[in-house]
Structure 1
Amino acid sequence: MPMLLFIAIIGAAAGFLATRFMRVETDVPTTVAIGIGGALLGWLILRILAAVTGWLAMFVGAVLGGMALIWLWRKYVSR
């Protein structure tokens, strides 16, 4: 139960800020719903970006590592 209360408080605060930034007048339940929905949507977007960025970073690292090995091989082995 404390976690639900925490989510409601965070949702209310986030919804309040979102409605003020967007200049929308809503009642308290709608403000809380906007905050909770926005938190879920933001979490989903960040998870997707982290997954894509993680994969992309691994790919770029693999390419750079391969290039470094080729450079080392050309410099020291294939004389």
Structure 2
Amino acid sequence: MSVIALIIIGAAAGFLATRLMRIEADIPTTMLIGIVGALIGGLILRTLTTIMGGLAGFVGAVLGALLVIWLWQRYRGR
């Protein structure tokens, strides 16, 4: 999956991840969380993407965004 595709998917994944983690974040922060998470998740789960197709890339993006939110909350505080 290209980096551009990960950025586009990441914006949507960030929105979903912030809702799943129940945090309030402004739109740029939500998008940044999603994009970073998509890049991390997309790169880590590249092998899974080749096996299962495009859905795995979205799942990886959401998981990556959830990881970024968890790290952000843990080290930044509430």
Q: TM-score, normalised by structure 1?
A: 0.47
* Relative contact order, higher structure (CA 8 A, sep 6+): 2
Which entry has the higher C-alpha Rg, 1 or 2?
Answer: 1
Q: TM-score, normalised by structure 2?
A: 0.47
